[in-house]
């Protein structure tokens, strides 16, 4: 009995669709940017103690994942850290305050990783003033009193830490966990206060998105999909099966992200609104002064905070829009300081805190790319 034309078409057509789905499915399941995340697997695999510590330091969080570090290892037992001025963010970080915080995160991870090997790091910050190197670090296997160096338990968290850019679960952060964080940051858990800060983060995010030069700086740093992420493992990485599906169907594109009237832009606003809204608590780091050294110290504290949240099974996510120092943000910057600091203090970091999925490792340039001299 011959098959009806309709039935045959159905089988062939269905088969083709199935095959196409399978191809896309395979494509989407191979979206891990292996080259870009290789530095996470390479951490600790160097023989030089300085490089071993630095291979962890390069996993530090930093604004827009710019990784503005350059290190000179030409002097024995010494590392000199410079800020790579080609990685500046003139629109969203005009005074390089946030980039300096990121370098503080870097120095803290380096110090923790060196201690794991039994090395102390004597840090001299801005030894030649603000225009010179960020730090000179001398490694030695004894502290200044001649004692052996103790390991830091936070080392265990370095490879598990992330900035969790996801909606958090709808549940409160328990008091005993909050208590572990209070030596490092001011925390906000009161629902009324949380609602006020949440509104600030949403308003500030919309303000950045509505400021063309700030938006363009971010969009220029977006990496769309695996190939772009592997080629430039920095900036804002948009990858993984879900986002790549949106790219495949044309909803997510560079042009769209620059055009506030596009459907892709509106989709982005919805994703950010949902994420920023799903936040049960906040953590804030303030400093009395706002010198370069204060900014480095704030970064070191943020790093310890993020490693501690990791140990406690909590997620932490910096939301810095309200703290950015470009004129169009001034209203939200002022409000952030009224809400979150005492007069005269600077709010250095504001982070969402809660329970979130542990998401993947974000891209990094290899250490070799960061060594000069």
Interacting residues with ligand FMN (CB under 6 A): 61-65, 98, 101-102, 105, 162-163, 165, 318-321, 362
Least CB distance to ligand FMN at residue 150 (A): 26
Closer to ligand FMN by Cβ: residue 65 or 157: 65
Closer to ligand FMN by Cβ: residue 66 or 139: 66
Least CB distance to ligand FMN at residue 63 (A): 4
Nearest to 158 by CA among 125, 111, 204: 111
Total residues found in the chain within this entry:
373
CA–CA separation, 126 vs 110, rounded Å?
A: 17
Closer to ligand FMN by Cβ: residue 264 or 299: 299
Least CB distance to ligand FMN at residue 235 (A): 8
Least CB distance to ligand FMN at residue 26 (A): 27
Q: Quick one: 24 exposed, middle or buried, by C-beta within 10 A (0-12, 13-18, 19+)? A: middle
Phi, psi of 119, deg, nearest 5: -115, 140
Least CB distance to ligand FMN at residue 187 (A): 18
- Residue nearest to ligand FMN as judged by C-beta position: 61
Least CB distance to ligand FMN at residue 129 (A): 22
Largest CA distance in the chain: 94
CA–CA separation, 93 vs 90, rounded Å?
A: 6
DSSP, collapsed to helix, strand or coil, labels residue 331 as: helix
DSSP, collapsed to helix, strand or coil, labels residue 343 as: coil
CA–CA separation, 160 vs 180, rounded Å?
A: 18
Structure tokens at 335: 């409000």
Least CB distance to ligand FMN at residue 234 (A): 8
Closer to ligand FMN by Cβ: residue 280 or 299: 299
CA–CA separation, 207 vs 331, rounded Å?
A: 10
DSSP string, 238-289: E-SHHHHHHHHTTSS-HHHHH-TTSHHHHHHHHHHHHHHHS-SEEEEEEESS
Closer to ligand FMN by Cβ: residue 98 or 279: 98
Closer to ligand FMN by Cβ: residue 50 or 300: 300
Nearest to 278 by CA among 308, 218, 319: 319
Closer to ligand FMN by Cβ: residue 117 or 166: 166
């Amino acid at each position: 009995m011959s098959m009806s034309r309709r039935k045959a078409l159905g089988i062939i057509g269905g088969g083709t669709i199935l095959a196409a789905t399978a191809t896309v499915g395979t494509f989407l399941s191979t979206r891990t940017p292996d080259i870009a995340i290789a530095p996470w697997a390479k951490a600790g695999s160097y023989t030089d103690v300085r490089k071993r510590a630095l291979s962890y330091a390069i996993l530090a969080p930093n604004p827009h994942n710019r990784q503005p570090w350059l290190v000179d290892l030409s002097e024995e037992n010494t590392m000199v850290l410079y800020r790579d001025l080609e990685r500046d963010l003139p629109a969203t970080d005009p005074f390089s305050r946030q980039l300096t915080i990121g370098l503080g995160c870097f120095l803290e991870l380096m110090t923790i990783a060196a201690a794991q090997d039994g090395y102390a790091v004597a840090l001299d910050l801005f030894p030649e003033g603000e225009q010179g190197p960020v730090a000179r670090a001398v490694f030695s296997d004894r502290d200044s009193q001649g004692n052996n160096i103790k390991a830091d338990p936070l080392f265990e968290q370095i490879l598990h830490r992330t900035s969790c850019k996801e909606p958090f679960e709808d549940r409160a952060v328990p008091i005993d966990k909050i208590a572990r964080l209070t030596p490092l940051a001011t925390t906000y858990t009161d629902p009324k206060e949380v609602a006020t800060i949440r509104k600030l983060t949403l308003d500030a995010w919309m303000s950045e998105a509505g400021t063309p030069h700030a938006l363009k700086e971010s969009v220029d740093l977006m990496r769309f999909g695996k190939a772009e992420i592997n080629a430039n493992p920095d900036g804002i990485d948009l990858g993984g099966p879900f986002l790549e599906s949106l790219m495949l169907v044309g909803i997510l594109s560079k042009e769209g992200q620059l055009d506030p009237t596009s459907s892709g832009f509106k989709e982005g606003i919805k994703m950010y609104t949902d994420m920023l809204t799903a936040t049960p608590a906040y953590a804030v780091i303030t400093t009395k002064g706002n010198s370069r050294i204060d900014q480095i110290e704030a970064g070191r504290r943020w790093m310890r905070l993020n490693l501690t949240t990791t140990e406690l099974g909590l997620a932490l996510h910096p939301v810095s829009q309200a703290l950015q120092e470009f004129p169009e943000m001034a209203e939200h910057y002022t409000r952030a300081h009224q809400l979150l600091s005492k007069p005269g203090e600077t709010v250095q970091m504001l982070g969402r805190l809660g329970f979130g999925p542990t998401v993947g490792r974000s891209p990094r340039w290899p250490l070799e790319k960061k060594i000069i001299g």
